[in-house]
Structure 1
Amino acid sequence: MVSAHVLDWLLDSDPALRWQVERDLAHEPQQIWDATRAQVATQGFGKQLLAVQDPDGQWAGGAYFPADGLDPIADEPDKGGQPFTATTWSLNALREWGVDAAALGDTAQRLAENSRWEYEDLPYWDGEVDCCINAWTVANGLWLGVDMDPLADWFAEHQLADGGWNCEWVEGSTHSSFHSTLNSLGGLLTHEVVTGGTPRTREARRRGEEYLLERHLTRRLSTGEPVGPWLSTFAYPLRWRYSALRAADYFRNVALNDGSPPDPRISEAIALVRAARQPDGTWLQGTPQPGRTWFDVDAPPGHPSKWLTLYGTRVLDWWDAATAGGMATLSR
């Protein structure tokens, strides 16, 4: 459980974070955190990001990349950089911060009329070929009241034989990616929460979850080795990169939605989250993915991160409460 000192520190924050602390850690009545959540569109991060929206409904003039071109760091692939100012990234942030869709007015219609993907000039709400992009588009469209059933069904059509997804399938990849699979699952879970899903999309979600679970969220199936150094690299904003923290938080959301106990195969990811907790109960900010942003929303690398502390604490609280201290059996 979070200490009183850490809780006070977390509550002294932007409304985008504070309402989630009130709900998930302080366990305040809904009218309390609802009132704080209502402030996100008019104060702090939410207000700042809404203020830089273009008249045509976009941000930075583009769907996934800003209209003025790629960030220079994107020309250095080893650094993995890209700009995070365009429409999709801005919508992701506003949705994740809890902004009421009404604050965006007719944004959905303006995007339908004015925004096209950089890939083959495809219409915005139709999605494109990248499963991570399509997953965010499903979630953002549902939030803004768009019928996203056709794009949700796209995931069932493009699920790979091993049960997951890979954004490079169009280049011929036949093995799934941890990153792509987790992002795809996020879109499918959102679709199911909002609409109930369809038999095809619900089955696709469960197959995708099994892809990660049979690898214990952390290991290659072929060798049993840890899947990558990014597994325990925790940094906010979370963006597209997979981590044990992001995966554990996803499966927490699954359990809350499905009314199911945590799968014991999550325990290795939980151990990595627990190991990153500092003696004072905080988590330190890692190195965020490089690229242009509108403004900073968290601490510098190496400093205590309020966002990561929220995510880490609620994941461990959920796990420990559900498994009597986290000592779940590994049998199933």
Structure 2
Amino acid sequence: MVGDDLVTWLRDSDPALRWQVERDLADEPPEVWEATRAKVATEGFGARLLAHQDPDGQWAGGAYYPRGFELDQEPGQPWTATTYSLNSLREWGLDAAVLRARRTAGLLAENCRWEYDELPYWGGEVDCCINAWTLANGVWLGVEVSGIADWFVEHRLPDGGWNCFWVEGAERSSVHSTLNSLKGLLAHEVATGGTEATRAARRAGEEYLLERRLFRRLSTGEPIAPWVTRFAYPSRWFYDVLNAAEYFREASAHDGSRPDPRLGEAVELIRAARQPDGTWLQVHRHPGRVWFEVDVEPGAPSKWLTLSGTRVLVWWDAA
């Protein structure tokens, strides 16, 4: 279902991307893609990011923001601090044993505090997205973070999803916050099985997105905003239909279920963005300080987005 030329182009990439191509598109046996995945710790993006880790276990001296950062002091949001660095390493497939050997989880427990009220790192804070990443990174590194999973049950809004601004009185869910919350709950469930309450919360959050077909307002049926089809890698905390479809692909694999038909319109938006050569373009970049760039400039074919778009279509069309 995937052209040889496209797979060859995708395989000519960093180990963080290449092992996923080998596993998901090239149908290589585990011994092939696992060997490539092991190189994330010693070559390319993974090795470069590991080299930036501070002796106290943090990156850039901070939990969510670099030490000393002040809002509005530079364009965009910095993406160099501990949470986004852990997110990248986890998403790239780094073996958690590498960070366990560095005592990363323990060092963060000792040295890292959230910018919000100086709360302990592995206890999470009040932001849904931050707590979702802390939950996913915690179970990856073997930390006891079940309290954060329970927090999502307690802080789900009546419409089924989540909103990071609940603490400021928000009563309606956000697609950004809901998708990130779902990713955290899924990671927890894959690792631990979850609880009846956390599994129910995940189903409710999925329903929030599905009843909106991933991109439509429930009230009017109109698209939520133009950014739902503005694809970018890395996606950071931002929502788009490709990012959401990737979540549902992973959830479907975990649940052993077929794709929900309500995803159909969103999948066709993803298909429409595919170029004649089978690639997807980087539409824009989320501005902000980075350790180094990991994808192409806007307007160029993106291997990361092409991997995502292709495997979503393969999953959908196979069903």
Which category describes the TM-score, using the shorter chain as reference length?
over 0.9
Give the counterpart letter for 2:305 in structure 1. L
1:108-257 matches, cutoff 5 A: 108-257=105-254
| Cα contact 2:210–2:262 (8 A) shared by 1 | yes
TM-superposed deviation, 1:90: 0.2
Amino acid in structure 1 at the alignment position of 2:109:
A
Deviations 1:71-104 (A, max 9, x none): 7565x6xxxx200000000000000000001111
Corresponding position: 1:100 with 2:110: no
Shift of 1:228: 1.2
Letter in 2 for 1:227: I
The SS at the match of 1:168 is: helix
Aligned pair 1:313/2:315, yes or no?
Answer: no
Query: Counterpart of 2:97 in structure 1: which amino acid?
Result: A
How many Å separate the matches in 2 of 1:176 and 1:72? 26
Given that 1:70 and 1:82 are in contact with CA atoms closer than 8 Å, whether structure 2 keeps it comes out as: no
What TM-score does the superposition give when structure 2 sets the normalisation length?
Answer: 0.98
Cα RMSD, aligned residues only: 1.0
For 1:34, give the aligned amino acid. E
- In the TM superposition, residue 68 of structure 1 has moved relative to its aligned partner by 2.7
Cα distance in structure 2, aligned partners of 1:2 and 1:60: 40
**Runs (5+) with no aligned partner, structure 1:** 323-332
The aligned residue for residue 50 of structure 2 is: 50
| CA distance in 2 between partners of 1:6 and 1:73 (Å) | 42
How many residue pairs align between the two structures? Answer: 317
Which residue in 2 is equivalent to 1:88? Answer: 83
What is the CA–CA distance in structure 1 between the aligned matches of 2:165 and 2:58, rounded to whole Å? 26
CA contact (8 A) 1:70 1:83 kept: no
Match in the other structure for 2:265: 268
| Structure 2 CA distance for aligned equivalents of residues 214 and 176 of structure 1 | 13
Q: Percent identity?
A: 69
**1:286 & 1:2 partners in 2: Cα distance?**
23
> Which residue identity is paired with 1:54?
D
What amino acid does structure 1 have at the position aligned with 2:182? Answer: L
Which residue identity is paired with 1:47?
A: A
Which runs of at least 4 in structure 1 moved beyond 6 Å after TM superposition?
none
| Alignment partners' CA distance in 1, 2:51 and 2:97 | 15
Name the SS of the counterpart of 2:40 in structure 1. Answer: coil
Q: Is the 8 A contact 1:283 1:304 kept in 2?
A: yes
Match of 1:29 in 2: 29
Q: In the alignment, is the contact (CA less than 8 A) between 2:285 and 2:297 conserved in 1?
A: no
In structure 1, distance between residues paired with 2:224 and 2:72: 29
Structure 1, residues 177-202: CA drift from partner, whole Å, max 9, x if none? 00000000000001110000001100
